[in-house]
Structure 1
Amino acid sequence: MTDDARARGLTRMQEVYGWKPPEIDGAFFATTVDHLFAEIWSRPGLSDRDRRLLLLGALTAQGRMETAEIQIHGALHNKEMSEEQLREIALFLCHYVGWPNGTRLDTAISTVTARVRDGGEPRMRRLK
């Protein structure tokens, strides 16, 4: 890890999610910032919206709604997708990842949009 990679990664993470990343010590978080955000989310070829669409599909297929909520918040904050578009994604995914997971995504969209309307921040679990 270089200080440059850490700085680029933290900046990119803030751009992707729309909030300042927490300062967390540990190898897991360091790898996430230094590699995933400084390198992968910074590559040319896909827009942030493209990446977020792919990620929402993968997270929904895995039933990972706590992480999907972070992506939903980022999409709304960065104006990459509207609530209507996110709901359309949930309905579309029901046909490919199953109604239970698609419905859980739709519920997550409701939760996050209500939180955003109330001026709340995304719910983040502490990464170690």
Structure 2
Amino acid sequence: MKPLAIPLLFLTVSAGFSAFAAQQTNTGENKKMDSVVIPVTSESDRPVRIADPAHFTGKAIVAPLFPAEAPSEATAAYVTFEPGARTDWHSHPVGQHLAVTRGSGYIQFWGGERKKIGQGDVVWIPPGIKHWHGATPDNSFTHLAVQEHLAGKTADWMEKVTDEQYGMPKQLPASPAQPSRAQQLMGETAPKLAELTDQVLYNDIWERPELSKRERSLITVSALIALNRPDQLRSHMSLALKNGVTQSELSEAITHLAFYTGWPSAVTAVGIAKDVFKADQKQ
């Protein structure tokens, strides 16, 4: 064998061995990666709950996202406030980030002015700052809350936010109760139907925490479009806007339903939506 052939042979063997070793290493790493279980939780695994009335005024729904996983101390949840609902005064030992995802609301630091916040806004609440936050009187409000535990807790709760602090006008002497919409429409002819509408439909079904009022509004509007019920659709579109459904979402729902319920129903809904949107802009 020629002298030059020996180094070439050695290099060829070395390269082949290195490639084999690398392949074995990669195979081992792949096996390790294949054995790692990726923790994923579905929405159904994270049941929503009504916020503790001891710390809230009005109704709020909490939809947890994740608990603290050591070594991290961070937790997160979506919180949806119905119109007029708000937290009590409180603080966070490690601070809190709020990201508004829908609707409009208020936040106020102790000693400061109340500030209105809306979809897309992100708020940083420094550690130990006394504050409250919640929905405006006329709109629902959803935010993502991210905070950390310290000594096993994420918040220190304090006193209630008064109506004056929230910005509610002083209560006038109580006037006689006005008949509900259902009583006005059906009370004389079908009083029991009016009673069931008020007590079961609106005071029970619409208040159940399994679906938010925003979600129930979308479902109801979709059903009324499909059934081509213009009179009921008008009032429920207005209610949907108050419950946090956006105009663009209602428009998209109409477009989507045109393919499933027919163009005539969708065209009727477009005319109603146009009137409802115009009235909403004037408010």
TM-score, normalisation: structure 2: 0.33
SS in 1 for 2:204: helix
Residue 116 of structure 1, CA deviation:
2.1
What letter is aligned with 2:282? D
Higher relative CO (Cα under 8 Å, sequence separation at least 6) belongs to: 1
Tell me what 2:225 maps to.
Answer: 60
SS in 2 for 1:41: helix
Once the two structures are aligned, what percentage of the paired residues are identical?
Answer: 26
Segments of 5+ residues of structure 2 without an aligned counterpart are 1-58, 60-82, 84-137, 139-176
| C-alpha distance in 2 between matches for 1:63 and 1:100 | 8
Count of aligned residue pairs for this structure pair: 102
| C-alpha distance in 2 between matches for 1:77 and 1:37 | 15
The structure richer in helix per residue is 1
| C-alpha distance in 2 between matches for 1:22 and 1:111 | 26
Residues 1-128 of structure 1 aligned to structure 2 (within 5 Å): 23=179, 24=183, 25=187, 26-78=191-243, 80-119=244-283
Residue 22 of structure 1, CA deviation:
5.1
Bigger radius of gyration: 2
RMSD of aligned residue pairs (Cα, Å): 2.3
SS in 2 for 1:45: coil
Residue 39 of structure 1, CA deviation:
1.5
Task: Give a deviation string over 1:21-60, Cα, whole Å, max 9, x none.
Answer: 9503422211101111122112221111211111111111
What letter is aligned with 1:112? V
| C-alpha distance in 2 between matches for 1:89 and 1:82 | 11
What letter is aligned with 1:59? L
Task: Give a deviation string over 1:64-101, Cα, whole Å, max 9, x none.
Answer: 011111111012123x1221111111101101101110
Segments of 5+ residues of structure 1 without an aligned counterpart are 1-11, 120-128
TM-score, normalisation: structure 1: 0.70
